[in-house]
Amino acid sequence: MRGIKTLITGMALAFSAVADDRPPPLPIEPIGVVESLPATYPNEWLLVHEASFFNMQDGKIIVLDASAETLTEQYKGMVNISLMGNYLQNSARSEIYATETFHTRGNRGDRFDVLTVWDMATLSSKGEVMLPGNKRFMGMPEPYALLLINDGKWLAVSNLSPATSVTIVDVERLNIVSEIPTPGCTFAYPTGNRGFSSLCADGRMMSTTLKADGTVQAQVRTEAFFSSDDSPIFERPVVIDGTAYFPTVAGLMQPVDVSGDVAVPGEAWSIVTEEEKAKAWAPAGIALMDRDDAGLIYLLMHPDAVDGSYQAGGPEVWVIDPKAKKTLRKIALNEWGLSLAVTKGDSPMLAVLNPTVMSIEIYDPNSGELVRTLSGFGENTPLSFSGSE
């Protein structure tokens, strides 16, 4: 009996010693705390379109700080963008617009197309507009599927069913203003204040000017300036000082003056030299092109181009001065790149998608040095991204 008491006493003393060695309990944390982001994002932030190509109902826009060193510091938040949607940032109203599609039974049933308005500070939905007709453009991430016009009061939403049109949405009142047919012409590129232009399959552009009530005032088509069969162009230009620069599959740069109400195509010039042409260098990629605030173009390029390789990406990013019509420098990538984006400001960063592991590599665009890699942020197929406006 005495032995049992001794054992119990010893155990009690041991447990007491262990308890004494434990750190003090953590303070009780408050619950229900909601943090907010700045209403205007810093230049170093990226909006990453996680298209979820293999699970399209689970698409996202992920906000990342490309200048931060750790994942905890890089990841700022996310919003959903269901079923191959597209998005556009409107910093003037601290809003992100996203087109989405839902079905009443998840992956089947009645279809509903929606324009969702997300608050940039809270990343919460602040409104939505039902898009009629089940016709909004649904495809690979497309920067010109959405366009702000009329001093940012209206949003042009591209439709493809396969008939083409543009739905005009009032972003202040959150209602439909009108629907503008654009037969044979797709997407919405900036021209004028209350208007837009669309790229046509027959090699032309059609410029639409709207009245104050959103109906058509005029529609004007240019002469054909490219051939979809023989000299196709990429539909994703960059716009610098009123000129849209469209790269071509063959390695030309096609300028289009979009400073007025009507698009005016200019004369194309070659991106590649004769020596580079001999090695079949050409543009390629998904989001293959962007610009910095200094007016320089960043373009993914690949050698040994063949028919069908125009979406494959490439091992180099060429930095092009469009005014001088020459390549200033070439950035050799650490890994093959599929998409790119350039952050804004005086010290831009070049972000490039590594399609092998789906990470985003950050480069110094002046030195070409790989600075850091963004990964582990929930990426699956982050097919495109953009610098914060």
287 belongs to a structural domain: yes
330 within 8 A of 318, measured Cβ to Cβ: yes
Task: With cut-offs at 50, 70 and 90, classify the pLDDT of residue 19.
Answer: low
Per-residue pLDDT, 34: 80
pLDDT category, 10, cuts 50, 70, 90? low
Query: HSE (CB half, 13 Å, CA atoms) of 129?
Result: 24
Q: Where are the alpha helices (DSSP H) in 155-279?
A: 274-278
- What 3-state class would DSSP assign to 23? coil
**21 pLDDT above the threshold of 80:** no
Q: pLDDT tens, 136-160?
A: 999 888 999 999 999 999 999 999 9
Residue 109 is assigned to a structural domain of this protein: no
Q: Which amino acid is at 144?
A: Y
Tell me how many domains the chain contains: 1
Q: What is the DSSP string of 38-84?
A: -SS--TTEEEEEE--TTSGGG-EEEEEETT-SSHHHHEEEEEE-TTT
The type of residue at 139 is G
Q: Indicate whether 337 belongs to any domain.
A: yes
| Residue found by looking up tokens 């985003």 in the block | 360
Say if 389 falls within a structural domain.
yes
| CA distances for 207 relative to 190, 235, 253, 260, angstroms | 9, 15, 21, 10
Q: What is the pLDDT of residues 193-224, one digit of tens each?
A: 999 999 999 999 999 999 999 999 999 999 99
Please state the pTM of the whole predicted model: 0.90
Tokens of 353: 């998608």
Nearest to 84 by CA among 50, 108, 61, 51: 51
Residue 265 to residue 271: CA distance in whole angstroms: 17
Torsions phi, psi for 16 (to 5 deg): -65, -40
- Is the predicted pLDDT of residue 16 greater than 60, yes or no? no
For residue 343, what pLDDT band results from cuts at 50, 70 and 90?
very high
- Examine residue 339 and state whether it is found in any structural domain, yes or no: yes
Say if 347 falls within a structural domain.
yes
Assess whether pLDDT exceeds 90 at residue 384.
yes
Q: Could you tell me the pLDDT band of residue 117, with boundaries at 50, 70 and 90?
A: very high
With 0-12 / 13-18 / 19 or more C-beta atoms within 10 angstroms meaning exposed / middle / buried, residue 304 is exposed
CATH of the domain at 352: 2.130.10.10
Taking 60 as the threshold, does the pLDDT of residue 373 lie above it? yes
Tokens of 385: 């991204």
Which one has a higher pLDDT value, 331 or 29? 331
Q: Half-sphere exposure of 211 toward its Cβ, with a 13 Å CA cutoff?
A: 7
Q: Give a yes or no: residue 175 inside a domain.
A: no
Domain-embedded: residue 41: no
The range of the structural domain enclosing residue 331 comes to: 233-389
